[in-house]
Amino acid sequence: MNLSPHSPLPERASRWRWLWVLPRLAFVLFVGGVALLLWMSDQADKEEKRATLTSDMLWLEQNLRFHLTRNEELLGRIDLAHTASAKAFESFARTLFGFESGLRQLIWLDAEGRLRLAHPTTMDPSLAGETGEAVPSRQSFRLARSLGKPVYSSAYPFFTNDWQFEVHVPVSREGQIVGVAVGIYRIRDILGDSVPWWLAERYRISIIGDSGKVLGTRSKIESSVTEEGYQVDFDPPGWGLALHAVPYHAPRPLASVLLSVSLVILAMIVLWSLWILRRHVLRRQAVEEQLQQEHAFRKAMEDSFDTGMRARNLDGEIIYVNPAFCRMVGWSATELIGRRPPMPYWADDYLDETRAIHDRILAGEGPEEGFELKLKRRNGEFIDVLIHEAPLIDAHGHQFGWMGSMVDITERKQAEERARQQQERLQSTARLVAMGEMASSIAHELNQPLAAISSYCTGAANLLRNNAPATDVVPALDKAVDQAQRAGKVIRRIYSLARHSENRFERVLLGAHIDAALSLMEVDIRQKGIRVTLDLAPQAVVDGDPVLLEQALFNLFRNAVESMRDTAPDRREILIVLSCADGYVVLTVADHGCGIDARVADKLFDPLFTTKAEGMGMGLAICRSVVENHRGRLSFEANPEGGTVFRILLPMAPQ
């Protein structure tokens, strides 16, 4: 697999597109060559046929001429004995006809041209007639007699569709022409006698007159000739007779037909394969183009990543890195590709650890959930990365390497470290504050009972000094005991508050604890003549720590009582409302006290902040810690009727 960028495909495609001309050209050349070959073979065939036709016709012409010449000689040698009697003449004629020379009638004319003998006896009117018109035969007779040489007549029709001509051969004895032997050739018979069967098989052979009229034909089939024939004149007839032959349209030889058919089939197969090949290549090109686009898309995606990508083969050699990876480690792709471990970005201090995990990954035992590693940038900076490795699988399903995605978590790590340190600092501060708060709380909570015990004991001592009866002293001592017990209770509560470092939550019916907290304030409330109005929703139940919640309530009530020190007795009133709304329990404690100055509002919840001479400044701080510990909120606002309203919001316990 090549992970390096390719050259753009369309460019390559256009570069090689001209190659398509080659198969097309080859195909055209092939088809042209085949057509030329077939044409040439056809031409050679025709040429051969023509040559054969010419030689055949020349041979036929020679043959005819030979027959005619031989007949001339034989006729010239007619014996007078033959002409003496009809019987001898018939015998001579029959012998002559027996040579199959085309002769069909033999006539003996005396020196004056009178018909003496004929065989067969069927008379030609022109020969027998006495009219003396210029019929060819008379002319031929006169010419033959005057020349003393054989003379041929022109061809003339015989009956309806037959033609014949004559040869007049003068016969002389002792220098005297004694008569003329006339041989009559019937053209149809000449053809029948002198054209051998094998020639007749090949050609339609005709004898043509001087006017171009066909005088006789030897033909196997009348209408199967299509081609131009070959014509040869044959003399001595001398009347323009010519032999004309037209070859029969012979079917092409099977081998030639097979060759043509195979070539055509071959051409079609070549065309078909070219078409298939082209389609395949086009499809392939389309797929390649799609792949290229996908590659470009993926590359753009990889390049835009913040995640570093690094691929290694099974030997651990780097085969691919994306720009984000290069940015992360500060080395360029060319510097990294081909590198083997140890990599230049491995941190020296963690070399063994890095190599171990590298070996584990190559062995296929890398942690699936990813792992964190410290690497070193080229400039020496360290970076923390989170790496996930996945196997690289090729098209055949074989693994050929590992692809690692790398996220820079340096900032996250630093933030985590900062948070951890801050947390540690906070915890130690919180511990200090808590200790301080506890010490202050103890002092705060014990202040009042100790003061009460002190005053009761002082009162009892004064009574004893004045010899007061025991019945007067005992109540004071009882009250001192009560206060001592209360102090013990407070210590236990604060102790349990300190112990409650971890939440021990239970269902708390808030109304009951309001009553309990108020009962602790009972003496004060009564002494100061404060009216307490309660409006408590019975279903106000929260999940919480009852001791802590009661402590928080007590602090709020006590502040309300103390704030009304300077309030007119008739306005000394505390309104406590407990209600439920929207899944929350809302408790408001409204007093008509001195109110809260806007300048101190910000610092109200700070530990040790107080405006009271004897105050510890811990009540509201404890109160808010407790409320927030219960996922609630503590707030205050000015009471429209004068004084302050403190509000506690706590999540309601699920029913």
Which stretches of the chain bind ligand ADP, using CB under 6 A? Answer: 555, 559-560, 563, 591, 593-596, 604, 609-612, 615-621, 644
Cβ-count burial of 38 within 10 angstroms (0-12 exposed, 13-18 middle, 19+ buried)?
Answer: middle
Interatomic CA distance for residues 211 and 410, integer angstroms = 120
Q: Give the C-alpha separation, 142 to 170, whole Å.
A: 10
Q: Report in angstroms how near the CB of residue 614 gets to ligand ADP at its nearest.
A: 8
- The smaller minimum CB distance to ligand ADP, of residues 333 and 604, is found at 604
CB of 449 to ligand ADP, least distance (A): 15
The distance of closest approach from Cβ of residue 567 to ligand ADP in the complex, given in angstroms and rounded to an integer, is 10
Q: Three-class SS string for 399-424? A: EEEEEEEEEECHHHHHHHHHHHHHHH
Rounded to a whole number of angstroms, the minimum distance from the CB of residue 624 to ligand ADP is 9
Quote the CA–CA distance of 535 and 321 in Å, as a whole number: 72
CA-CA-CA-CA torsion sign (394, 398, 400, 403): positive
**DSSP readout, 541-582?**
EEEE-HHHHHHHHHHHHHHHHHHTTTS-GGG-EEEEEEEEET
In the complex, minimum distance from the CB of residue 632 to ligand ADP, in angstroms, rounded to a whole number: 18
The smaller minimum CB distance to ligand ADP, of residues 634 and 649, is found at 634
Q: In what order do the strands lie in the sheet with 573-581?
A: 531-536, 573-581, 584-591, 644-651, 633-638
Strands, E assignment, 314-423: 318-321, 371-376, 382-393, 399-408
453 or 618, CB closer to ligand ADP?
A: 618
Q: Which residue's CB is nearer to ligand ADP, number 124 or number 591?
A: 591
Q: Which of 230, 237, 131 is nearest to 184 (CA)?
A: 237
Residue nearest to ligand ADP as judged by C-beta position: 619
CB closer to ligand ADP, 189 vs 445? 445
CA–CA separation, 150 and 165 (whole Å) = 13
State the nearest-atom distance from the C-beta of 628 to ligand ADP, in Å.
15
Residue 391 CB contacts under 8 Å (≥ 6 apart), including other chains = 364, 399, 401, 402, 403
In the bound state with ligand ADP, the residue whose beta carbon lies nearer, of 156 and 609, is 609
Rounded distance between C-alpha atoms, residue 607 and residue 604, angstroms: 8
> In terms of CB distance, is 23 or 615 closer to ligand ADP?
615
CB of 608 to ligand ADP, least distance (A): 8
Q: Which is nearer to ligand ADP, 210 or 606 (CB)?
A: 606
Please say whether the beta carbons of 312 and 319 come within 8 A.
yes
Radius of gyration of the chain (CA): 72
Q: Shortest distance, CB of residue 484 to ligand ADP, whole angstroms?
A: 22
Q: How far is the CB of 627 from ligand ADP (least distance, A)?
A: 13
How many C-beta neighbours within 10 Å does residue 636 have?
Answer: 18
> Closer CB to ligand ADP, residue 33 or residue 595?
595
Give the H or E element holding residue 516: helix 510-520
List the structure tokens of 94.
């029959």
Please report how close the Cβ of residue 601 comes to ligand ADP at its closest, in angstroms: 9
Of residues 292 and 629, the one with the C-beta less far from ligand ADP = 629
Task: Categorise residue 643: left if φ over 0, alpha if ψ from -120 to 50, beta otherwise.
Answer: left
Cβ closer to ligand ADP: 321 or 564?
Answer: 564
| Minimum distance of ligand ADP from residue 350's CB (angstroms) | 53
| Strand extents, DSSP E, 477-539 | 506-509, 531-536
